[in-house]
């Protein structure tokens, strides 16, 4: 089956062809016909298997063939997502699919000025991608109406139906027409979330790909036993082995992201950071530099475990294990996307063994372990510690010299 065989408009086919797509992936092959028929769908597939295109392609087609000219309040499809980065990524995919159509897609997110978003909505938007906070702000101010929407998509459905967002979803449903199509897509979903999803739709078709292993076959993932205080030295060693490799590192908290980045900078390794404490402009700039290869190391919290689609990430490092087992799948899914191969390595301290056990129970199997001999472990510590000490001494000498210059300058001014 090729995309050219689908009953899609020529403009959509042209957009898909421009993306380099020839044959649909499994999730696309199973989802697109059902979505085109107007059926409710619950699609579960591994990260990096083309889930976004699985709903973007049929939605753009449906909007295009039913578009009404001159419609101001034109939002026909609402896609709700948990993170800003994911909203922007989905917008990019929709824009590519809709490149040769008149379908207008737009993402509204928090953390940025709302005025340009209001202006865009006033001009007319067909497909709206939104994070809940900003969306409700604009609804309450009267700038956004949902009464024309005939398709609702919850991407990363496990997050969107979890306690934090479920009330938001219920509030949205009250504002939508009763007759609508509802689509759920995610890489992971549990029994409780599945029941919630089915309670919101009419006879959903469950489309599940590779349910026994949520981790893509393109990703080889391993764990290594490393003490918490030694992790920075092993990360330094890993990066220095191949400085050209594009690496994404996940850390548990915002504070630890900052600390790890500073530790890397002290040994001459440039790092970009993304976490919830950064404003959207800073997050976008960091992501842009990472995508363009200006800096090959990105350190992030789980705010970026979903939605960061950067081609060529060769290695994901779990500096800390995630507190939520499902996030392990989403983290390591940043590599090995599409047809690319990728690797993931988790540093596991003694205090994280329970987290590791929970993750392995979720995966239904043990994660292969890379054993490090005592001699090799100590060698890495000796090399990195020596380098770090040299760097620290050099920094102290520089600061002493700099203070001396400042004092001399002051004395000269007094004279």
In a domain, residue 275? The reply is: yes
In a domain, residue 412? The reply is: no
Verify that 90 and 52 share a domain, yes or no: yes
In a domain, residue 214? The reply is: no
Verify that 107 and 239 share a domain, yes or no: no
Verify that 147 and 249 share a domain, yes or no: no
Verify that 328 and 355 share a domain, yes or no: yes
Verify that 283 and 314 share a domain, yes or no: yes
State the Cα–Cα distance between residues 85 and 88, nearest whole angstrom: 5
Instruction: Tell me which DSSP letter residue 186 carries.
Output: E
- Pick the last residue of a domain from 158, 184, 208: 208
State the Cα–Cα distance between residues 1 and 11, nearest whole angstrom: 19
- Pick the last residue of a domain from 141, 173, 208: 208
Verify that 87 and 153 share a domain, yes or no: yes
CATH number at residue 152: 3.40.50.300
Verify that 132 and 58 share a domain, yes or no: yes
Verify that 115 and 24 share a domain, yes or no: yes
Range of the domain at 276: 219-387
Verify that 141 and 203 share a domain, yes or no: yes
Please provide the size of the chain in residues: 415
User: 26: which residues sit within 8 A by CB, 6+ positions away?
Assistant: 45, 49, 209, 210
In a domain, residue 336? The reply is: yes
Of 150, 170, 169, 175, nearest to 58 (Cα)?
Answer: 150
In a domain, residue 147? The reply is: yes
Verify that 12 and 100 share a domain, yes or no: yes
Tokens of 145: 């109406």
In a domain, residue 409? The reply is: no
In a domain, residue 118? The reply is: yes
Q: Reading across the β-sheet that carries 105-108, which strands appear in turn?
A: 105-108, 127-130, 77-80, 151-155, 181-186, 41-44, 205-208
State the Cα–Cα distance between residues 346 and 321, nearest whole angstrom: 7
Verify that 162 and 185 share a domain, yes or no: yes
Would you say 197 and 189 are in contact if contact means Cβ atoms under 8 Å apart? Answer: yes
In a domain, residue 140? The reply is: yes
| Per-residue confidence in pLDDT tens, the chain, 415 aa | 788 888 899 999 999 999 988 889 989 999 999 999 999 999 988 888 889 999 999 999 999 998 655 445 579 999 999 888 899 999 999 999 999 999 999 999 988 899 999 999 999 999 999 998 899 999 999 999 898 999 999 998 888 888 678 888 888 888 899 889 999 998 888 788 888 888 888 777 878 776 577 888 889 999 999 999 999 999 999 999 888 899 999 999 999 999 999 999 999 999 999 998 888 889 889 999 999 999 999 999 987 767 677 888 999 999 999 998 989 998 999 998 878 899 999 999 999 999 999 999 999 999 999 999 999 999 988 877 555 544 544 454 555 566 666 666 666 655 5
Verify that 311 and 232 share a domain, yes or no: yes
Please state the domain count of the chain: 2
Of 108, 43, 90, nearest to 307 (Cα)?
Answer: 90
Give the number of C-alpha atoms closer than 13 A to the C-alpha of residue 402, restricted to the C-beta side. 6
- Pick the last residue of a domain from 208, 234, 267: 208
């Amino acid at each position: 089956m090729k995309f050219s065989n689908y009953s899609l408009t020529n403009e959509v086919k042209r957009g898909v062809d421009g993306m380099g797509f020839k044959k649909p992936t499994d999730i696309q092959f199973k989802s697109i016909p059902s979505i085109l028929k107007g059926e409710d769908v619950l699609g579960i597939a591994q990260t990096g298997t083309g889930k976004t295109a699985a709903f973007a392609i049929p939605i753009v087609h449906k909007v295009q063939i039913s578009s009404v000219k001159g419609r101001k309040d034109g939002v026909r499809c609402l896609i709700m997502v948990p993170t800003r980065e994911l909203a922007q990524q989905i917008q990019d995919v929709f824009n590519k699919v809709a490149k040769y159509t008149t379908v207008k897609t737009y993402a509204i997110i928090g953390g940025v000025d709302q005025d340009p978003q209001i202006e865009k909505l006033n001009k007319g938007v067909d497909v709206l991608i939104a994070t809940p906070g900003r969306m409700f702000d604009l609804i309450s101010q009267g700038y956004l109406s949902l009464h024309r929407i005939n398709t609702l998509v919850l991407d990363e459905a496990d997050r969107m139906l979890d306690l934090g967002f479920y009330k938001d979803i219920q509030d949205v449903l009250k504002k939508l027409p009763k007759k609508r199509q509802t689509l759920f897509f995610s890489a992971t979903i549990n029994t409780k979330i599945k029941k919630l999803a089915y309670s919101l739709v009419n006879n959903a078709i469950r489309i599940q790909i590779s349910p026994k292993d949520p981790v893509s076959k393109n990703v080889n993932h391993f764990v290594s036993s490393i003490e918490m205080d030694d992790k920075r030295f092993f990360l330094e060693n890993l990066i220095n082995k191949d400085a050209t490799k594009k690496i994404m590192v996940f850390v548990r908290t915002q504070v630890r992201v900052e600390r790890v980045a500073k530790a890397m900078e002290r040994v001459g390794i440039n790092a970009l950071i993304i976490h919830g404490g950064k404003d959207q402009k800073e997050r976008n700039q960091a992501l842009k530099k990472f995508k363009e290869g200006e800096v090959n190391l990105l350190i992030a919290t789980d705010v970026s475990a979903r939605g960061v689609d950067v081609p060529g990430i060769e290695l994901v490092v779990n500096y800390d294990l995630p507190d939520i087992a499902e996030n392990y799948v989403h983290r390591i899914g940043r590599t090995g996307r599409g047809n690319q191969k990728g690797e993931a390595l988790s540093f596991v301290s003694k205090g994280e063994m329970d987290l590791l056990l929970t993750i392995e129970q979720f995966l239904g199997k043990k994660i292969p372990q890379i054993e490090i001999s005592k001699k090799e472990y100590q060698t890495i510590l000796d090399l990195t510690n020596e380098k770090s000490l040299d760097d620290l001494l050099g920094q102290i000498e520089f600061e002493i010299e700099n203070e001396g210059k400042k004092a001399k300058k002051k004395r000269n001014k007094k004279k």
